[in-house]
Every structure is written in C-alpha cells, then in structure tokens.
Amino acid sequence: MKNIKLITDGSCDLLQEIIDSSKVEIVDVMVSFGDKSYSTRTDITIPQFYKMMKDYSELPKTSCPSPNQFLDAFDCEEDNIIVLCLTSKLSGIYNSAVLAKNMYEEENGSKKRIEIIDSTTGSIGQALLVSKIANMIDEDKNMDEILNTIEKLKHELVFYGALHTLENAIKGGRINALAGKIIGALNLKAIVHVTDGLVKPIDKARGDKNSINKVIDYIKNNVNKTSGTKLAIGHANCPERAMKVKEVLENHHDFKEVYVMEVGPSMGVYTSEGAVLVAVI
C-alpha cells in the first residue's frame, strides 16, 4: 500500500540513507543556546553542536515541534499518514502531533487517515521503528498491518546505553536525580535501559571500557527476545566506541541490517558527549 506517508520528529537519529530511501519526512526540533535557536537539521552540524555544548556553561534547551509543523507535513498527496513520535513520557511531541491531527480533522473531516504512534522510545530505537515501517510500506502492507506490527515491536525493542556522564540527563529531568547523583558521586559510568518510555539507570561501571562491555553483555543476553534482525548503534561524537560495539555484536549474532548512527542534538543534549546507545528489534 504505497499510498502511505511516513513522518517522524527530529529526535529520531536516522541515517541519511534511510531518510533518502524511505522518503520519511522529519518534523524538525530546535535547540537553543541562550537566546539563539538552531534547527537541528539545517542550522547546525552534529560536531558543531557538541563543540558548542562543551563551550556553553548552561544546558542547551530543546523545543518540540508545533502543531502547525505537523499540519504542514499533513499537506501531501497521500491519503494515509503514519506519524511516529518520541516517547510521550519525555516530551510533548506526541501531544503536539495529536493536536495537529485533531485540528486537521476538524477542518477537513475524514479526508485522510492519520495515525499518531507513541514510539515509547527515541533516538536509535525510534530510528529502528521508522526503518521497519518504511520496509512494510515498500512491501505493500496496509495501514492496519503496519500499526499492529509496530505496536508489538515497540514493546519488544531492546535498548541499552552507556552514558559518559549523567549531569545533563539529570538537569534536563530525563533521569531520576537521586539515582543519577549517587552514580555521579562515585565517578562511575551509568548503564541505562530505555523501556516503557523512560530512561532508567540500571547498572554502573568504572571507566568507559567497562561500561561499553556491560552494554554489550545486556544486548547479548536480550537479543533473542526480539526478532534480532536489525541492530542500531548510536554514538555521541565517539565513533570509535560505536565501531567496537558493532564488531563484537556482529560476531555474536547474524543481524540482517546493522546501522551506526550519530546521536544528534535533540537527544545529545541529554545523553551528553561520549554516550553509546545500542538497540535491537
């Protein structure tokens, strides 16, 4: 059923090749350093962002897309639209998309079928779900088949990460402050589990090497709970760590698709530089 448009938001850390091949439209997220705001897709590169964040004394702020941005995306020739959003437990993006859908239907009735999906994840986890939806569109699956599959997969997604520091995640309210401060006070690296729409510290390690190894172990121990066909590795300006994870996991499991992605500004504000994220469906 090729008469389907796929939309996601700027917190989804997609490879350009997936964007190009799937023709997914990305509704932008803005990042602000003081009174200066930048489009995370057109105004600032990922290396520029991490350099600016390092030089900036306060936590940059991100702003979710407005309903009007989603309305603009709904203005298309397709009659069926799927919008996959960052977890609603960490952002207002999902609510903004739902409001846009309601506004569109009030003005146009049931001219188009618009389905808004709360991904219950973000970054590379969200990217894997976008990739799966794009595959199903190419396979001529209908809307209901796609929606049912994604509702199932989003709860099976395995997603762990090693954060170099929890400072930004605590400041931004993305992680439990007490648990984060305990780990930070011991100068340990945090292992996080992205599940049920939240980022939860579940373990700790001394040093970057040990933290990466722990994430690899968590993925190895859980990969068989999924179809295990798609692997995504995200890095916050530390590609060498991502490639180590890729090498180890490819030797452990035969993934059909493997992506190494940069963690962009929208999520990088909270992961901080040096983070490595790993997700499997």
The strand ranges marked E within 23-139 are 25-27, 30-33, 36-39, 61-63, 80-85, 113-118
In the numeric block, which tokens belong to residue 205? Answer: 């390690």
Count of other CB atoms within 10 angstroms of residue 130: 24
Q: What is the DSSP letter of 19?
A: H
| Per-residue pLDDT at 33 | 94
- In angstroms, the CA 25 to CA 180 distance is 35
- The answer to whether the beta carbons of residues 201 and 233 sit under 8 Å apart is no
Do 138 and 20 belong to one domain?
yes
pLDDT in the model for residue 185: 47
Together in a domain, 137 and 167: no
- What residue numbers bound the domain in which 219 lies? 157-280
Helix (H, G, I), strand (E, B) or coil at 242: helix
Q: Do 144 and 270 lie in a common domain?
A: no
- Report yes or no on 81 lying in a domain: yes
Q: How high is the pLDDT of residue 175?
A: 56
Same domain as 161, residue 84: no
144 assigned to some structural domain: yes
Half-sphere exposure (Cβ direction) of 11: Cα atoms closer than 13 Å = 27
The label of the residue with tokens 């903004």 reads: 96
Alpha-carbon distances of 7 from 130, 196, 250, 251, 268, rounded to whole Å: 9, 22, 30, 34, 21
Would you write out the chain's pLDDT as a tens digit for each of its 281 residues?
A: 579 999 999 999 999 989 998 889 999 999 999 999 999 888 999 999 999 998 988 889 999 999 999 999 999 999 999 999 999 999 999 999 999 999 999 999 989 999 999 999 999 999 999 999 999 999 999 999 999 999 999 999 999 999 987 766 666 565 555 454 544 545 688 899 999 999 998 999 988 899 999 999 999 999 988 888 999 999 999 999 999 999 999 999 999 999 999 999 999 998 889 999 999 99
Residue 191, C-beta contacts closer than 8 angstroms, at least 6 positions apart: 160, 161, 162, 201, 202, 203, 204, 205, 211, 214, 215, 218
**CATH number of residue 204's parent domain:** 3.30.1180.10
Q: Do the domain assignments include residue 52?
A: no
CATH for 125: 3.40.50.10440
Query: Both 96 and 189 in a single domain?
Result: no
Residue 188 and residue 240 in one domain: yes
Whether residue 242 is found in the same domain as residue 141: no
Judge if 143 and 162 occupy the same domain.
Answer: no
Neighbouring C-beta atoms of residue 44, cutoff 10 Å = 18
Whether residue 115 is found in the same domain as residue 254 = no
C-alpha separations of 253 from 65, 160, 173, 230 in Å? 38, 17, 35, 11
189-210 in b/e form (b: 16+ CB < 10 A) is bbbbbbbebbbebebbbeeeee
Tokens 């995370």 — which residue?
40
The per-residue DSSP string of 77-93 comes to S-SEEEEEES-TTT-SH
